[in-house]
Amino acid sequence: MKIACIQMDVQLGRPGENFARAAALIEEAMAQKPDVLVLPETWNTGFRPKEGLHELCDRDGSRTRSVIGSLAAKYGVNIVAGSISDLRRGKVYNTALVFDRTGSCIASYDKTHLFTPMGEDRYYTPGDHLCRFTLDGVSCGLIICYDIRFPELTRSLAVQGLDMLFVASQWPAVRIGHLDTLAKARAIENQIFLCCCNGCGTADETVFGGHSAVIDPRGRELAKAGKKEQILYAEADLSQLQTIRDSIYVFRDRRPELYQL
């Protein structure tokens, strides 16, 4: 599976510019003929504009479904469309959408764990379901940013059968080392490939850290981005999974009857 991870410099509170930039970066990435394109967290609005959030939001993902779904169909590519600020039934959600090669939306996920230190919980409504889907026959899962700090969430996906986990994020530079470490840990402990697409640039006083990465089940970085906007490419050789799991198959040796969660 060839992945193009779009580490985008999202403009806070400027969805028109962000949609145009995302479309341009997707077009640029297609020169390398990836199987999957990945966008970061809240790429339509930036991470929590302080003013006018309801007006800036997508409406039930309609603009994203139209624009990104059309691009997926045009190029015949799968797109894990990061997440968007999405207004549904009067509530704002941090919502991820996934499109297959026909442009059909095959999965959606509302961020489960809202980042209280930056007040996300005061503006967004938490999700209530996990997200698993299949791309080109590969079993995939999706989480958003702060979710990666909760290993129970990723393990809940993994025990159902998971080969690739996508992480859409807007992780601050001040804690970027945490993201690097947690991404490797989630890949190793669950014996999966992991693609983390982080944002970059500055929104108000917050600097986002970049460092998008594609990581194999051994914790090795197949590709790693810097701090600025770029498209990161990596090839995930999924044939490695069986060899790794045959060597040390943690899911066979689990003792779930002892785990008190």
Catalytic residues: 41, 111, 145
**What sign does the dihedral 83-47-147-244 (CA atoms) show?**
positive
Element (H, E) at 243: helix 240-247
Q: Which residues contact 58 (CB under 8 A, 6 or more apart)?
A: 15, 44, 64, 84, 85, 86, 87
Torsion of CA 145, 146, 147, 149, to 10 degrees: 120
Give me the helix-helix angle, 62-75 and 15-29, nearest 10°: 10
Q: Which of 207, 210, 203, 202 is nearest to 232 (CA)?
A: 210
